Amino acid sequence: MELLQEFVIEEVNAAVYNELWNFISSDNIVRGTFECSRFIVMKLGEDQFIIYRHVLGMQNVKCRDAVLVAKTFLLKKINSRAYELRLPDIQNVFD
């Protein structure tokens, strides 16, 4: 399964949807990381994110699977999963 799809399936749920959405969509947060249960979302700027698995004890690994994704595409993927789960208060991508 593709890394981005794994992230969306495993991490998008009612408990973290709003917090994750706010981190990704915020123009006030230019750089930073959002730690989910198994993945980390690293914000590189307003519109670019790197998503990779959080693996304990592997800090010195030189290569990890990761995906670079644009903000709008990531928000659409998150919302798609939110609709599948029928989460309340789903945000609009273009607000």
Residue 14 has a pLDDT of 96
Q: Distance between CA atoms of 90 and 17, rounded to whole angstroms?
A: 9
- For 39, phi then psi, to 5°, come to -130, 160
Q: Which helix (H) or strand (E) holds 32?
A: strand 32-35
Residue 94 has a pLDDT of 79
Residue 54 has a pLDDT of 83
Residue 1 has a pLDDT of 59
Q: Distance between CA atoms of 24 and 19, rounded to whole angstroms?
A: 9
Closest by CA to 12, choosing from 95, 83, 89, is 83
Which mean pLDDT values do the consecutive 10-residue runs of the chain (95 residues) have?
92 96 94 95 96 77 83 97 96 84
